[in-house]
Amino acid sequence: MKRVAIIGVGHSKFGDRSDVNLSELTFEAVKPALESSELTAKDIPYMALGSMGVWSEEPLPAVVIAEYCGFTGAGLVRCESACASGSAATYNAYSVIKSGQMDLALVVGAEKMKQISTPIIMEMIGRAGYYMWEFENFGMTFPAYYAMHAVKHMENFATTEEDLAKVAVKNHKYGAINPLAHLQHEITVDDVLDSFMIAWPLKLYDCCPITDGSAAVVLASEEKVKELKIEDPVWIEAVGVASDTANLSKREKYVGLDASVKAAKMAYDLAGITPKMLDVATVHDCFTIAEIMAYEDLDFCKKGEGAQMVREGETEVGGRIPTNLDGGLKAKGHPIGTTGVSMLAELTKQLLEEVKPNKRQAPMKNYIALAHNTGGTGHYGYVTILRR
């Protein structure tokens, strides 16, 4: 099997991007991705898009984006794995190259969520789980699903609402210095605790914002890397994939996500590494409790010790595994299908030690990074390991 490298990345400004349409927003990421890989759209025979796309008007966003960005004629697919659609698209393009069918591929994540109202977005995301059994009569929302996990985690491990707040404070601290982040302001624990209730016990600042944004990465085979004379690329070492039940009622426990545990184990095994070797990570902090559970599910610490990692600053710059130094979903924003690709763009910059400002650059020792991207409430699990 061939090795697959990331040879170019691009990332739009995240936020309320009502100033551009979906194609224009995506162009903002595709253009720098192509330029940084010194390629043109005509050079790339395959494009995979990660997008859920129900919030904007185009039912076939991949073809619209491909036409706008000059990719018409390329092999084309749009991948859906809810909030992990970007990782699913990456896995698709990665597999195409790894299996030797193509030498180059573009992965794009694109989402325009701000085109419809918040109650309709709550409706569309709430339905994403099991419409028939958990939404039709019970109106579950995405925050409500994670709130159920927060209740159980707090009960079992003495995790507190202050601990949850500290995750938001950390991620806002880094979001504030990431020029591409949606929310560029610092917050305090009290800001979180005093914010209005969304789904008890989760409050506004425990939740990621609704965001527009795009990201793109160019993938290349090892042969292509040599041909293009790229000396020091970032490699996708491994991808772990897993899933869990549609019905939340069928899960065993509510203190973690099994899909994350399984995907992480698969990725660590394939890459031949342990979590101790990670220099930096991005984890799927759609809610503050999700980041704490992710530390545990990814084996950064034992189950129940996630809050301790936040309390002790172990996931900040200078800590054991600096995590979400781009602000995470919490402050950078979470344009659903874009997030997985955005994580890879960020980690590529981290591994190349090109993050600006330097205050949010993780120190590199082993040059290994991990991206954890879940779809739905742990319905889909993707863990991608990068190495330079």
Partner 1 sequence: MAKPLSMKSARTLCITYNIPINRTLKFWTGLEKGKVYATKCTKCGKLHFPPAADCGDCNSSKIDWVELDGEGEIVTFTQVFVKPASFSEKPDYIVAIARLKEGVKALAWLKGIKREDVKTGMKVRLVAKVFPDKRVAYEFIPS
For partner 1, give the closer residue by CB, 152 or 303: 152
The binder of partner 1 chosen from 151, 176, 266, 364 (CB under 8 A): 151
342: tokens are 């955005």
Q: Are residues 373 and 38 in contact, defined by beta-carbon separation less than 8 angstroms?
A: no
Instruction: Give the single-character DSSP code of 334.
Output: -
Q: Does 179 bind partner 1 (CB under 8 A)?
A: no
How long is the chain?
Answer: 388
For partner 1, give the closer residue by CB, 246 or 317: 246
From residue 356 to residue 385, the character string flagging contacts with partner 1 as x (rule: CB under 8 A) and all else as - is ------------------------------
CB 347, min distance to partner 1, A: 31
What is the Cα–Cα distance from 310 to 300, expressed in whole angstroms? 12
Closest by alpha carbon to 111, among 245, 17, 218? Answer: 17
Binding residues for partner 1 restricted to 95-114, rule: CB under 8 A: none
From residue 252 to residue 281, the character string flagging contacts with partner 1 as x (rule: CB under 8 A) and all else as - is --x---------------------------
Q: Which part of the chain contacts partner 1 (CB under 8 A), choosing from 25-33, 83-91, 192-200, 334-342?
A: 192-200
Active site residue 83: yes
Sequence-ordered alpha helix ranges (H) in 242-369: 258-271, 288-297, 306-311, 328-332, 339-351
Size of the site for partner 1 (CB under 8 A): 41
Annotated catalytic residue within 149, 172, 182, 334: 334
Active site residue 153: no
The binder of partner 1 chosen from 54, 63, 76, 122 (CB under 8 A): 122
* Local structure of 12: helix, strand or coil: coil
What stretch of H or E contains 4?
strand 4-11
Q: Are residues 236 and 93 in contact, defined by beta-carbon separation less than 8 angstroms?
A: no
CB 61, min distance to partner 1, A: 15
For partner 1, give the closer residue by CB, 99 or 247: 247
Q: Are residues 370 and 271 in contact, defined by beta-carbon separation less than 8 angstroms?
A: no
For partner 1, give the closer residue by CB, 203 or 360: 203
Binding residues for partner 1 restricted to 196-215, rule: CB under 8 A: 196-202
Instruction: Give the single-character DSSP code of 204.
Output: G
Q: For the chain, how far is it from start to end, CA to CA, in angstroms? A: 19
Annotated catalytic residue within 11, 69, 79, 83: 83
87: tokens are 């990782």
The torsion region of residue 168 among left (phi > 0), alpha (psi -120 to 50) and beta comes to alpha
For partner 1, give the closer residue by CB, 19 or 190: 19
145 CB-contact burial (10 Å; exposed 0-12 / middle 13-18 / buried 19+): buried
CB 127, min distance to partner 1, A: 8
Q: Does 248 bind partner 1 (CB under 8 A)?
A: yes
Beta bridge partners of 323: 281
Q: Which part of the chain contacts partner 1 (CB under 8 A), choosing from 115-123, 187-195, 299-307, 309-317?
A: 115-123
What is the Cα–Cα distance from 182 to 263, expressed in whole angstroms? 28
Binding site for partner 1 (CB under 8 A): 18-19, 57, 115, 117-120, 122-123, 126-127, 132-135, 137-141, 143-144, 147-149, 151-152, 155, 196-202, 247-250, 254
Catalytic residues: 83, 334
